[in-house]
Structures are given as C-alpha cells and as structure tokens.
Amino acid sequence: MLAWRRVIALGVTSAAVIAAIWLLDVNALVRGLKAVPVTTWVLATALAIGQYLVLAARWVILNAPSGWALRIRYFVEALTAPLYNVLTPANLGADVYRIMVGRRRTGSWSRTSVLVLAERILGLSSYALLFLIGYALAGSPSGLPPFLANAAMPLTVVMGAPLLLLTLGRAVTRLVPVRFMAWAAITEAAAALPPRRVAAAYGLSVLSTGAWLVCLGTLSRGANVALDWSMLLMIGTITELSRLIPLSIQGAGIRESVFAWLATQAGAQAEPAFIACAAAYALHFAVLSAVAFATKFVMQYVSR
C-alpha cells in the first residue's frame, strides 16, 4: 500500500511539474530565477538555517529533558528527523521517526505522540497567526482575492488551537473511561504539558514560521514578484498548508501552482511567482539535508 502511494505521489508530482512547464513561459521562468541577486540567496539561506535551529530548540523545550547531554540528544534528533520527510507526504516521516525513538528511550509511545501532535498544532496555529497579521496589514478585505478573504475566518479558529490543546486535554482526561487505556495515556500526557512550556514553544513556532515566510518573500521579491509583504504572508501561509495534501512528494508541483495562482489573483505574474516558490523550497530541502548530514557527521566524530 505504501509503495503504491509513493508511485501515485511521484505521478502527481511529475504531472504537476510537466503541466506547469507546458502552461507557463519557460523563458520567463529562467529570467525570474536569474533575476535573484546573490545577496538575496545568502539572506534566504541564513533564514532557512535559522528556521531549522529554532524548530530544533522548540522540540527540546517541549520535551524539557534534564541535563545538557539529553538536551543535546533531543536537539540532534530534531535536526536529523526532517530527512525522513523527503519521501513521505505531509511531513509524516519525521513524526514517525521521533515517536519510534521516544518509544525506545522511554518504553512508551504516548508521551512522544502527544509532543509531536502538540508541535503540529503549534505550527498550524503560528501559520494562522502570520496569515491574520498579513490580513490585518492588507487593510480592507474587499481588495483581497476572494480565496484569501474567505480563508480568514477558518484560520482564526486554527489560531486558537494551542488553547484547545491546554484546556481540552485536561477536560478529556477526566471524561475518558479507564478501559480506553491507550487514549487515556495520550490525554493524560497532553494534560501534563505546563502552560508556560507550551507558550515558550509557541513563541518559537511563530519565530520559525516568520523566518520561513520572510525567506519565501525575500526570494519572491528578488525574482520581481510584484507582491507586498501582507500578500506574501497570506499567500505563503496557504502555500505551506497545501503541502499537507498527501497527493505528491512534499507537495511538489502543487505548492508552486498554488503560490503562482494566488499571486496572479493578487496582480502578479505567474512565471516569476512559480520559480520563486520552487527556488525557496529547493533551498529549504538543500538546507535541511546539509544541516542533517552535518549534524550526523559531527555526532559520529564526537562519539569516537
């Protein structure tokens, strides 16, 4: 079943890329890529690296390990786990990897599962927050593309997800019958998360999300995509959420098409928007791989 899903994902990815090349002006795509200055690449790379370091720090804070040795181990796990996302939809590979590692370490999968779920909730909420900031900066919603204007209400609900994590976790724990031990273990672990730790992790989520959206926006403006920062915050958020659709490898083809389509709705050209988005995600995975392999190499060298 998993093999078939990969085949389908590869087919959808290939079809989306081929369709984009067929429909868009290839020369305009190349011109958009060449227009990006070297200084913009350097800044975008620094932002991408910073994003991963912040995400790793968030995982350490959520786990709250005692002692520097264990904190470093969690930090290393967080830096290497994204490698497992490369061939899995919706970034599931890193989640499964960390749950398995957590089970080997503690003998229980419930606590790590809750922390992975908490990370997802905090991440989605932080994207919703940045979208709403862009929405507020844009001024009147009447001037927005209909899709972006209509997305504001559901994303406002998503932004409140961390509060649900703290309040419902405790409420559900009291209501779950004892016979549902697996679910009870999960809700118990959720209820045990201190609000101060969740707040700190949420702050890092917002910082990481902001770094990624600024990275995407910097490359877009370098490629002469005619969008202001309010639009880039909103369109970048919807683009990132489109990666959760499990139809292609990491949303490849879909995310670029979504970004280009929304950019044209906002008055920009499709070709520079498409290539800027593709370049941002290519840089994203290049940095991911480089940081993960460098971390593994350093840890192997230190352990000798």
| Residues spanned by the domain of 80 | 2-302
Taking the CB of residue 19, how many other CB atoms lie within 10 A of it? 12
Q: What are the tens digits of pLDDT across the range 207-230?
A: 999 999 999 999 999 999 989 999
Give the pLDDT of residue 265: 93
Q: What is the pTM assigned to this prediction?
A: 0.83
With both helix axes pointing from N to C terminus, report the angle between 110-137 and 181-191 in degrees, rounded to the nearest 10. Answer: 50
Tokens matching residue 56: 């790793």
Give the pLDDT of residue 225: 92
Q: What are the tens digits of pLDDT across the range 172-198?
A: 555 555 444 455 555 556 666 777 888
Nearest by Cα to 62 from 105, 104, 124, 113: 113
Q: How far apart are CA 111 and CA 189, in angstroms?
A: 5
Q: What are the tens digits of pLDDT across the range 18-39?
A: 555 655 555 666 677 778 899 9
Higher pLDDT, residue 266 or 69? 266
Q: What are the tens digits of pLDDT across the range 233-285?
A: 999 999 999 888 766 666 677 888 899 999 999 999 988 999 899 899 989 98
Give the pLDDT of residue 248: 60
Tokens matching residue 234: 């909103």
Give the pLDDT of residue 2: 47
Angle at 161 (CA atoms; ends 175, 82), nearest 5 degrees: 110
Confidence of residue 135 (pLDDT cuts 50, 70, 90): very high
Q: How many domains, the chain?
A: 1
Give the pLDDT of residue 1: 45
Work out the burial of residue 215: count CB atoms within 10 Å of its CB; fewer than 13 is exposed, 13-18 middle, 19 or more buried: buried
